[in-house]
């Protein structure tokens, strides 16, 4: 299985901050990387697919980059509604695997 490792596991930030979350794959996955946002008690929501493709309706302050083994999710200016847990997922090979999640909390 491909292991997905996110860092940090949690972070505290203020509204307006620029936030960066990193996801590393245990082997190359080309650009087969998705990012999900999950609010407490809710289902995950797809934000970005294929490493950098923003889903329809997702604010442009979210962006993704990377290829191979190292990927980044960036929130350019954190908004109150962005406090949530973010998870990466590789879709390169079965079984599809997720990172452990990064919890973004209010400072």
Partner 1 sequence: QVQLQESGPGLVKPSETLSLTCAVSGDSISNGDWWSWVRQSPGKGLEWIGEIHLHGTTNYNPSLKSRVTMSLDKSENQISLRLMSVTAADTAVYYCARAGGYKMDGWGKGTTVSVSS
Contact set with partner 1 (CB under 8 A): 1, 32, 34, 36, 42-46, 49-50, 55, 87, 89, 91, 94-101
Instruction: Name 41's Cβ contacts closer than 8 Å, sequence gap at least 6.
Output: none
Judge contact between 84 and 30, C-beta under 8 A.
no
Minimum CB separation of residue 97 from partner 1 in Å reads 7
Judge contact between 88 and 98, C-beta under 8 A.
yes
Rounded Cα distance between 43 and 40, Å, is 8
Using the 8-state DSSP alphabet, how is residue 82 labeled? G
Using the minimum distance from each CB to partner 1, give the nearer residue, 66 or 99. Answer: 99
Minimum CB separation of residue 68 from partner 1 in Å reads 17
Minimum CB separation of residue 80 from partner 1 in Å reads 23
Using the minimum distance from each CB to partner 1, give the nearer residue, 41 or 77. Answer: 41
Using the minimum distance from each CB to partner 1, give the nearer residue, 5 or 17. Answer: 5
């Amino acid at each position: 299985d491909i292991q997905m490792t996110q860092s940090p596991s949690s972070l505290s930030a203020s509204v307006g901050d620029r936030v960066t979350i990193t996801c590393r794959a245990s082997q190359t996955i080309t650009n087969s990387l998705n990012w999900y946002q999950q609010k407490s008690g809710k289902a995950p929501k797809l934000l970005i697919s294929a490493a950098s493709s923003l889903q329809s309706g997702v604010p442009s302050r979210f962006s993704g980059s990377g290829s191979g083994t190292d990927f980044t999710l960036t929130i350019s200016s954190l908004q109150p509604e962005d406090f949530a847990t973010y998870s990466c997922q590789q879709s390169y090979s079965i079984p599809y695997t997720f990172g452990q999640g990064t919890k973004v909390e209010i400072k």
